[in-house]
Structure 1
Amino acid sequence: MGALQPGTTLGGRYVLRSLLAVGGMGEVWRGADSELDREVAVKVLKDGAAKNETFLKRFRNEAKNAAGLRHPNIAQVYDYGEVDGTPYLVMELVEGEPLSTILERERTLSERRLVTVLRHTCNGLQAAHDAGVMHRDIKPGNLLVQEHDMVKVTDFGVSRGMDQTTLTATGMVMGTAQYLAPELALGKAATAASDLYAVGIIAYESVVGRRPFTAASAVDIAIAQVNDDVPRLPATVSPPMAKVINNLLEKNPRKRIKTAAELERHLATFTFEEPSLDPLELDPAGSTPDAAAGTADGSPTTVAPSEQRPAPARAMPPSIAPKSYRPHPERPSGPR
């Protein structure tokens, strides 16, 4: 399939209007469903990625897992198809911007705003977990923030249902190193606690202005996730928020808060000096999805067997796949 252009029609009904985002694996287009007369987002896998069996399975995995999820805090997948060997996903068009863009611009969030973002995220994650789907790549770029800070979780390309086999060979895991739970870095099975660890990294980053673990390479970051203590939070972080973050970033998943629903209920008890309407009481149907779309799917860092590099003295998670198939980083990995 050649380069896509505005006006291209996929599947006989989805007309591409304008390019919204480009990631390591694909492009996201603003489009129109001519049969249902509604605007949509269309994610198209790039030709090179479409020929890679792992990425193709990821793409189909997203279609299967996300299409079965119905929740206001999850970006809905409507359809899946292939044209001349190039697969595409048709998704809900979401008004808003990725949390990664907000953090790049504002560096930190107020705790009040962060609690709102996290509660919405938890509700979306709980719906996925209840359906037996672990996201496995929760990060700011996959949280689309709308008006009133309502969040839609997107990009289930690395997700895994309870009845599915892993997409990778034994000893390999997929995810983004900066948000990768220690157990995933060690090649263990993903659980709800693994997604909650990533939520903890996001919370830390949102109040401190940088991620807790940074290094020159993704594999070194993964090693730090497994071995290093979480850097002390500054005194500007409230004790309740610090307690939540430190709990979510426990190395042992059994010591973390058990479910996203439990985390949401705990966050709901947070109080702030100025009273405000509970943001989760706002009607999400009141927003019009016509301003922006989900981010490009950005292929996650692939962690490969540890024998590809000398084993250090401490625990060594798997190493990283070829750079040609890595996403563009959302933000610099070093301290700011």
Structure 2
Amino acid sequence: MTISSGTTLGGRYVLRSLLAVGGMGEVWRGEDTELDRPVAVKVLKEGAAANETFLKRFRNEAKNAAGLAHENIAQVYDYGDQEGTAYLVMELVEGEPLSTILERERTLDEARLVRIIMQTARGLDVAHDAGVMHRDIKPGNLLVAHGDAVRITDFGVSRSMDQTTLTQTGMVMGTAQYLAPELALGKPATPASDVYALGIIAFEAVVGKRPFTAATAVDIAIAHVNEAVPPLPATVSPDLAQLIKELLEKNPRKRPRTAGELIERLGSLTLREPGTVPSAPTAASAPRGEAASTSDGARTRRGGGRTMPPSIAPREYRPRPDGPPRGRSARSVGQ
């Protein structure tokens, strides 16, 4: 079947303009004529549709993503097949991939980075609770809309706990630059594997480049397994640097094991003000841990460090006027 602007799928989804082209398919801006709303339509390429493995992955993406309802996950509306062309109808996110933002800006300020990682972790927490591992978290699969609202997309290589594997033993799935060491070794994905990918994104966002580069995808995967993570610059806040270091542990048991655990860590970070540099301690320095309030409600430590302001910290971690921060239940975050 020939796909072009004006093509109608399923009797209701009219394709308007091409948004993106990937290895397996194309993503079109479209219109749902029955509900009169814009949609994104992912169409499997003709060659991929003829490949049974690709087709099963496409169906898995529809099944896995359709079962996840959260503000930080791009919603899937429908799935169909017309004249041998499989298509997936999704929420249209008016934004741009994080990869485009990083290409343009090189680095992000720490508060913005934490905000983006926090929202991504919230979406992953819901997916993991449902038994779905994304397995391909990378900047290109994080759509950033107005106000830095994040939507996770492309569950094309995701795997639910109740699905049989579509790969041979030892086969690697995912994008090499963001691949957890255990996945590079052909081991099963866990929540900690998606958490590792967030560590790579965080490293890239504060340094301006990824920690591991090489001539081929295989060499990059080997580097994830064997090479030490390069040191972060001294301009990175100590708390954030320590968290990134833990996210990139080779052993998944040494990382925050779940997205929920990562959310808790992010909520308690002390960040350095943009443009400040670390200062050497002096005799007049305040005692370790002493803090003072700022005009925006944040808590600032001597030397320029600051805890996360209320505008960034999720509500459940904001200080209560009469007691300690609120606790967090397994399903309360992001709701």
CA RMSD of aligned residues (A): 1.4
Q: Hey, which bits of structure 1, 4+ residues long, moved more than 3 A?
A: 271-277, 279-282
Q: Is the 8 A contact 2:95 2:146 kept in 1?
A: yes
Q: Which residue of 2 aligns with 1:44?
A: 43
Give the C-alpha shift of residue 26 in structure 1. 1.0
Structure 1 segment 267-282 matched on structure 2, within 5 A = 267-272=266-271, 273=273, 275=296, 277-279=310-312
Q: State whether residues 183 and 189 of structure 1, in contact with CA within 8 Å, keep that contact through their aligned partners in structure 2.
A: yes
1:305 paired residue number: none
Letter aligned with residue 266 of structure 2: L
Q: What TM-score, normalized by structure 2, do the two folds share?
A: 0.82
Report if aligned partners of 1:182, 1:251 keep a CA contact under 8 Å in 2. yes
CA distance in 2 between counterparts of 1:271 and 1:224 reads 30
**Cα deviation per residue 1:275-313 (whole Å; 9 max; x = unaligned)?**
35524769xxxxxxxxxxxxxxxxxxxxxxxxxxxxxxx
What is the alpha-carbon distance in structure 1 between the residues aligned to residue 314 and residue 265 of structure 2?
A: 17
- Match in the other structure for 1:18: 17
1:166 alignment partner in structure 2 = 165
AA partner of residue 205 (structure 1): E
Q: How does 1:148-159 map to 2 (within 5 A)?
A: 148-159=147-158
Question: Rg larger in 1 or in 2?
Answer: 2
Secondary structure of 1:173 counterpart: coil
* Structure 2 counterparts to residues 19-98 of structure 1, below 5 A: 19-98=18-97
Deviates more, 1:196-205 or 1:29-38: 29-38
Does 2:92 match 1:119?
Answer: no
Shift of 1:179: 0.5
Q: Which has the higher contact order (CA 8 A, sep 6+)?
A: 1
The alignment-based identity, stated in percent, is 75
CA distance in 2 between counterparts of 1:90 and 1:230 reads: 39
One-letter code aligned to 1:278 = S
Contact 1:148 1:279 in 2 (8 A): no
2:213 matched to which residue of 1?
Answer: 214
Letter in 1 for 2:261: E
SS class of match (2:228): coil
Aligned counterparts of 1:176 and 1:22: Cα–Cα separation in 2: 16
My pick for the range that moved more, 241-250 or 259-268, is: 259-268
Q: In the TM superposition, what whole-angstrom CA distance separates every residue of 1:94-141 from its partner, at most 9, and x where no partner exists?
A: 011000000000011111110000000000000000000000000000
Could you say what secondary structure the match of 1:175 adopts?
coil
Cα distance in 2 for residues equivalent to 1:148 and 1:38: 22
Q: Which amino acid aligns with 1:146?
A: A
For 1:253-332, what aligned pairs fall within 5 Å after superposition? 253-272=252-271, 273=273, 275=296, 277-279=310-312
Deviation at 1:270, TM superposition (A): 2.5
- What amino acid is the match of 2:202? A
Contact 2:143 2:153 in 1 (8 A): yes
User: Aligned with 1:41: secondary structure?
Assistant: strand
Contact 2:240 2:270 in 1 (8 A): no
In the alignment, the residues of structure 1 paired with residue 52 and residue 5 of structure 2 have an alpha-carbon distance, to the nearest angstrom, of 28
Q: Identify the residue that residue 224 of structure 1 maps to in structure 2.
A: 223
- Distance in 2 between the 1:249 and 1:271 partners? 19
Instruction: State the secondary structure of the residue aligned to 1:28.
Output: strand
Q: Which amino acid aligns with 2:41?
A: V
For residues 12-47 of structure 1, give each alpha carbon's deviation from its aligned partner in whole angstroms, at most 9, with x where no partner exists. Answer: 010111111111211111111111111100000111
Amino acid at match of 1:169: Q
TM-score, normalised to structure 1, is: 0.81
Equivalent residue, structure 2, for 1:249: 248
Q: CA deviation at 1:259?
A: 1.3
CA distance in 2: counterparts of 1:223 and 1:5, whole angstroms = 41
Distance 1:217 1:90, change over 3 A: same
Partners of 2:49 and 2:86 within 8 A in 1: yes
- SS state at 2:122 partner: helix
**Alpha carbons 1:120, 1:280 under 8 Å: kept:** no
Task: Give the conservation status (yes or no) of the 8 Å contact 2:13–2:33.
Answer: yes
**Please, which runs of 5 or more residues in structure 2 have no aligned partner?**
274-293, 297-308, 316-335
2:250 counterpart SS class: coil
Q: Give the gaps of 5 or more residues in structure 1.
A: 283-336
Cα distance change, pair 260–281 in 1 and its aligned pair in 2 (3 A)? closer
Residue correspondences, number: 281
Matching of residue 181 in structure 1 with residue 180 in structure 2: yes
CA contact (8 A) 1:96 1:146 kept: yes
